């Protein structure tokens, strides 16, 4: 057995030495001859195609072969031949597997290299011919990769389809993307898939081309805005968003992007009009009502701090109306229930603070005033309680809801229930979960 292994090692070593001595250029020629033999008699010489692939891959590991346009043409022809063989098989069996992961891309990249290195007219002619043959399959494979959620591979295939179009156009040859609309769509989808492959720098290239052309596709503005934001170009992103909103005032994606930008910047007063527009466009979108309520809620808090009672009352009522509008569409919505409860709760907390700041006055009038304010506080807690109960039913592990319920029941002197919520709160803080909600209905 040892003798046999040693013999194999010697044979393999000899083969490696012979290839090294043969050199890349000779290996490339040998690959070309094997491919020619296959093309003369595909049935009788079927093994020659595999031999051609193996030899051209070995050849291109050598620097001398990598400098030869003919070597790259051979590689392109080998992979193109394998691709055509697969397509012929699929004419009979649509489910037949492909030989490689993306032979169209391998062929294209080889032809492109041959085109760049061309020293003779036929180099470019043959490269362009090969590119024309594989272009449609670059698109088809790109779609297939996208459907399998292989976004990086889909992007590379789509990118190659656009590069092939440039080369074919430069050489006055027919391209699968000659139709202007189809070309724009291909650029957009290439940019979109680049973002899905987490390649925003590449996506920006395609989006920017369409943007400069004055595209009528609002999604281009959305994609360009999102990528610029992700890349840290906030000023550039905001410019694109502003232009997009002017050009497509009713596009929901751009509207929501603007709403999120305003939320991030804290431009609450400017948000109201945008949110109302969004609600008109999507009247059943509960989250929009909740967000509008949150905006009014924050404005209410600011007005309280500024001692602007009139504005505070206005914003409180608007917030309440927004949350109630959300609950009219979905009575179990967690955020809407919590937000409405918190609105009353915070107003009660503010009134409690006001009550605590009252001067000591043990006169009948002073005591009456104190009792009146205490009654108002408890009434607000009572108004908050149904919303917090609904929020706890929907999510028994929400920390803020549990804190609020613990506080309300403690103030209502219901120590048993307050203690229960204190335990539930501690369970969550310790990393656990409450098995069931406390409030069943």
Mean pLDDT of 95-107: 89
Instruction: Specify whether the CB–CB gap between 225 and 257 falls below 8 A.
Output: yes
Pick 355 or 395 by higher pLDDT. 395
DSSP output for 392-430? HHH-TT-HHHHHHHHHHHHHTT-HHHHHHHHHHHHHHHT
**In the predicted structure, residue 78 carries a pLDDT above the cut 50:** yes
Q: How far apart are CA 392 and CA 253, in angstroms?
A: 32
DSSP output for 185-210? HHHHHHHHHHHHTT-HHHHHHHHHHH
Q: How far apart are CA 317 and CA 297, in angstroms?
A: 9
Q: Is the pTM of this model over 0.75?
A: no
Tell me the two tokens of residue 414. 């219901």
**In the predicted structure, residue 94 carries a pLDDT above the cut 60:** yes
Residues 6+ apart with CB under 8 A from 434: 396, 397, 424, 427, 428
Beta-sheet strands, E only, within 88-229: none
Report domain extents, the chain: 23-150
φ and ψ at 141, to 5 degrees?
Answer: -65, -35
Q: What does the pLDDT look like over 168-190, one tens digit per residue?
A: 999 999 999 999 999 999 999 99
Mean pLDDT of 210-239: 95
For the chain, what percent of residues have pLDDT higher than 70?
95
pLDDT band for position 1 (50/70/90)? very low
Count of C-beta atoms within a 10 Å radius of residue 151 = 18
**In the predicted structure, residue 5 carries a pLDDT above the cut 50:** no
Q: How far apart are CA 35 and CA 431, in angstroms?
A: 65
Nearest to 153 by CA among 233, 98, 75: 98
Q: Please give the angle made by the CA atoms of 75, 102 and 186, to the nearest 5 degrees.
A: 110
Tell me the two tokens of residue 197. 């492959």
Mean pLDDT of 339-363: 84
Residue with tokens 């929501």, as numbered in its chain: 256
Question: What SS3 class is residue 365?
Answer: helix
Q: How far apart are CA 87 and CA 94, in angstroms?
A: 9
> How large is the C-alpha radius of gyration of the chain?
35
Mean pLDDT of the chain, nearest integer: 90
The number of CA neighbours under 13 Å toward the Cβ of 161 is 30
Quote the pLDDT of residue 128: 98
Instruction: Specify whether the CB–CB gap between 322 and 296 falls below 8 A.
Output: yes
Q: What does the pLDDT look like over 359-407, one tens digit per residue?
A: 776 677 777 787 888 888 899 999 999 999 999 999 999 999 999 999 9
**In the predicted structure, residue 268 carries a pLDDT above the cut 90:** no
């Amino acid at each position: 057995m040892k003798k046999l292994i040693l013999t194999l090692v010697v044979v393999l070593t000899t083969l490696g030495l012979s290839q090294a001595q043969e050199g890349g250029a000779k290996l490339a020629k040998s690959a070309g001859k094997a491919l020619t033999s296959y093309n003369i008699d595909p049935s009788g010489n079927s093994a020659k195609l595999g031999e051609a692939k193996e030899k051209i891959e070995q050849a291109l590991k050598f620097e001398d072969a990598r400098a030869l346009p003919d070597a790259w043409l051979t590689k392109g022809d080998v992979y193109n031949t394998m691709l055509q063989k697969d397509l012929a098989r699929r004419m009979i069996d649509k489910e037949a597997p492909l030989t490689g992961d993306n032979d169209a891309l391998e062929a294209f990249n080889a032809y492109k290299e041959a085109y760049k290195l061309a020293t003779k007219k036929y180099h470019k002619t043959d490269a362009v011919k090969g590119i024309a043959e594989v272009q449609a399959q670059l698109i088809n494979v790109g779609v297939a990769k996208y459907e399998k959620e292989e976004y990086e591979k889909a992007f590379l295939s789509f990118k190659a389809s656009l590069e092939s179009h440039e080369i074919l156009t430069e050489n006055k040859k027919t391209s699968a993307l000659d139709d202007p609309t189809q070309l724009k769509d291909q650029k957009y989808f290439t940019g979109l898939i680049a973002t899905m492959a987490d390649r925003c720098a590449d996506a920006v290239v395609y989006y920017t081309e369409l943007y400069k052309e004055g595209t009528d596709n609002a999604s281009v503005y959305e994609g360009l805005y999102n990528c610029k934001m992700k890349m840290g170009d906030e000023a550039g992103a905001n410019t694109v968003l502003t232009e997009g909103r002017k050009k497509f005032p009713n596009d929901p994606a751009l509207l929501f992007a603007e709403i999120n930008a305003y939320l991030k910047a804290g431009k609450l007063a400017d948000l109201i009009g945008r949110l109302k527009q969004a609600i008109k466009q999507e009247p059943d979108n509960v989250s929009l009502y909740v967000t509008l309520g949150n905006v009014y809620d924050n404005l209410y808090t600011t007005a309280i701090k500024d001692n602007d009672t009139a504005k505070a009352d206005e914003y409180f009522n608007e917030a309440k109306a927004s949350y109630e509008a959300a609950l009219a569409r979905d009575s179990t919505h967690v955020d809407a229930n919590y937000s409405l409860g918190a609105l009353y709760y915070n107003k009660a907390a503010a009134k409690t603070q006001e009550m605590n700041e009252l001067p000591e006055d043990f006169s009948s009038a002073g005591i009456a005033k104190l009792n009146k304010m205490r009654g108002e506080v408890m009434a607000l807690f009572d108004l908050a309680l149904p919303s917090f109960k609904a929020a706890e039913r929907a999510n028994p592990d929400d920390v803020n809801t549990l804190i609020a319920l613990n506080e309300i029941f403690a103030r209502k002197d219901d120590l048993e229930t307050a203690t229960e919520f204190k335990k539930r709160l501690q369970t969550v803080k310790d990393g656990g979960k409450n098995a069931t909600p406390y409030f069943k209905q």
